[in-house]
Amino acid sequence: MKLQDIQQKLGGERIGEVASQLAGVGTIESADETQITFLANPKYRSALGRTAAGAVIVGPEDRDITSKPRIVAANPYVYFARVAQLFSPPASHAGGIHPSAVVHAGAVIAASAAIGEFVSVGFNAIIGERVQIGAGSIIGENVSVGADSVIAPRVTIYPNCSLGLRGIIHSGAVIGADGFGFAPDFQGDHGSWIKIPQTGRVIIGDDCEIGANTTIDRGAIEDTIIGNDVKLDNQIQVGHNCFIGDHTVIAGCVGIAGSTRIGRHVMVGGAAGFAGHLEVCDGAVISAMTLITKSITEPGMVTAVMPQMKHADWLKNIAHLRQFDKLANEVKEIRKKGDAS
């Protein structure tokens, strides 16, 4: 494509034109003359002068920062993402069921759906138009998969769960396993944990993406619900009866305990943790490795993690921290004496 082709599809202001067609996208540091790059972060402005990219996407404030052929867009990063999609369209798959797949006679599969090798599709499952299901995936009974969804190899969707339109589920994900529900029945050292049947479902909305090896537990009685346009990274655990609102994004290795309600447009950094039965309001931003132990009621950033420092400095600081309770008590005593006088 040339810049004119891109502009016709995506809009923006075009300044100049490349001499030869562009073949893909690249970073400012690595792009060559056959690729288009972007500038969204001001700290990379100096790198723009050194880039070998054939063209660049910039914001209005950087319209005249370079003489390279360019497209001016309100949001260069989003525009770049859409350009990348143009150069990397989804692979097309002819509809059909591989001979090795095991499909229950009661399942309903659209003719345009592609069912891969050794896939299992259960009774009364509904597979929509143009759905792709990768090798070795298991689709349980009464599962519905919305049109244009892509299920990678080795995904397991337990019975009665549903995935909306245009969903993407990556390899190793497990949707609808039992939640961690047990009642203690002990008399001294005798007794056992009594399993609570997990009879709810997992309901996933439209345009969601579920990362590799992420697990979403079914509800104990009511459903676990994932809203529309939710993006979950790899190796996330979502406990039973959780609710995640529309347009929320959660980075890898986050653990969300049961019955947590997370609002819309929430951003969660990697390895954060949530105690159960909490509520997180719309628009909250949670830093990486933050432990959330109480509800968040106001939008904005929340951080509860000690920044990195040299090991010797950490040892000194933690030594003081261990004495914090003693120091607090001494301050109380000083205040009491001051009040008494």
Is 247 a catalytic site residue? no
The answer to whether position 203 is within a domain reads yes
Query: Residue 307's pLDDT is what?
Result: 82
Q: How do residues 169-211 score in pLDDT, each as one tens digit?
A: 999 999 999 999 999 999 999 999 999 999 999 999 999 999 9
- Residue 213: domain span: 155-302
Gap between the Cα atoms of 5 and 25, Å rounded: 15
Tokens coding 341 = 């006088």
Contact by Cβ (8 Å): 231, 246: no
Gap between the Cα atoms of 340 and 167, Å rounded: 68
For residue 257, the domain's CATH number is: 2.160.10.10
Q: Does 337 score more than 90 pLDDT? A: no
The answer to whether position 145 is within a domain reads no
**Are residues 81 and 20 both part of a single domain?**
yes
Q: How do residues 216-260 score in pLDDT, each as one tens digit?
A: 999 999 999 999 999 999 999 999 999 999 999 999 999 999 999
**Are residues 182 and 315 both part of a single domain?**
no
The answer to whether position 102 is within a domain reads no
Q: Last residue of some domain: 87, 105, 120?
A: 87
Three-state DSSP state, 335: helix
Q: Does 131 score more than 90 pLDDT? A: yes
The answer to whether position 119 is within a domain reads no
Q: How do residues 253-292 score in pLDDT, each as one tens digit?
A: 999 999 999 999 999 999 999 999 999 999 999 999 999 9
Q: Last residue of some domain: 87, 104, 120?
A: 87
Query: Residue 39's pLDDT is what?
Result: 96
**Are residues 277 and 320 both part of a single domain?**
no
DSSP secondary structure, 29-43, as one string: TT--TTEEEE--SGG
Write the CB contacts of 303 (distance below 8 Å, at least 6 apart in sequence).
286, 287, 290
**Are residues 265 and 330 both part of a single domain?**
no
Query: Residue 241's pLDDT is what?
Result: 98
**Are residues 170 and 282 both part of a single domain?**
yes
Q: Does 148 score more than 90 pLDDT? A: yes
Catalytic residue from among 104, 170, 240, 311: 240
Q: Does 305 score more than 90 pLDDT? A: no
Query: Residue 58's pLDDT is what?
Result: 97
State mean pLDDT over 102-125: 98
**Are residues 278 and 160 both part of a single domain?**
yes
Query: Residue 253's pLDDT is what?
Result: 98
Q: Does 134 score more than 80 pLDDT? A: yes
Query: Residue 87's pLDDT is what?
Result: 96
The answer to whether position 218 is within a domain reads yes
Prediction pTM value? 0.91
**Are residues 237 and 327 both part of a single domain?**
no
**Are residues 328 and 248 both part of a single domain?**
no
The answer to whether position 15 is within a domain reads yes
Whole-number average pLDDT of the chain: 96
**Are residues 167 and 228 both part of a single domain?**
yes
Query: Residue 239's pLDDT is what?
Result: 98
The answer to whether position 54 is within a domain reads yes
Distance of CA 143 to the CA centre of its chain: 22
State mean pLDDT over 72-87: 97
Query: Residue 91's pLDDT is what?
Result: 82
Closest residue by Cα to residue 70 from 1, 10, 17, 29: 17
The answer to whether position 262 is within a domain reads yes
Q: Does 339 score more than 90 pLDDT? A: no
Query: Residue 117's pLDDT is what?
Result: 98
**Are residues 184 and 283 both part of a single domain?**
yes
Q: Last residue of some domain: 56, 87, 118?
A: 87
Gap between the Cα atoms of 105 and 74, Å rounded: 52
Query: Residue 336's pLDDT is what?
Result: 87
**Are residues 73 and 163 both part of a single domain?**
no
Total domain count, the chain: 3
State mean pLDDT over 145-172: 98
**Are residues 289 and 191 both part of a single domain?**
yes
For residue 68, the domain's CATH number is: 3.40.1390.10
